[in-house]
A and B are shown apart, each in its own frame.
Chain A
Amino acid sequence: GAVVSQHPSWVICKSGTSVKIECRSLDFQATTMFWYRQFPKQSLMLMATSNEGSKATYEQGVEKDKFLINHASLTLSTLTVTSAHPEDSSFYICSARGTGKLNTEAFFGQGTRLTVV
Chain B
Amino acid sequence: SQELEQSPQSLIVQEGKNLTINCTSSKTLYGLYWYKQKYGEGLIFLMMLQKGGEEKSHEKITAKLDEKKQQSSLHITASQPSHAGIYLCGADGSSGGGTSYGKLTFGQGTILTVHP
Contact = CB atoms under 8 A, between A and B. Distances in A.
Asked whether A and B interact, the reply is yes
Interface of A: 6, 32, 34, 42-46, 49, 91, 93, 95-97, 103-111, 113
A104 B106 contact: no
A43 B108 contact: yes
Contacts of A42: 108-109
Contact of A103 (B88, B101, B104, B106): B101
A113 B40 CA distance: 7
Contacts of B41: 110-111
Contacts of A32: 102
Contacts of B45: 107-108
A106 B91 CA distance: 12
A106 B101 contact: yes
B101 A105 contact: yes
Contact of B43 (A96, A104, A108): A108
A111 B41 CA distance: 6
Contact of B88 (A44, A46, A49, A106): A44
Contacts of A104: 31, 94, 98, 101-102
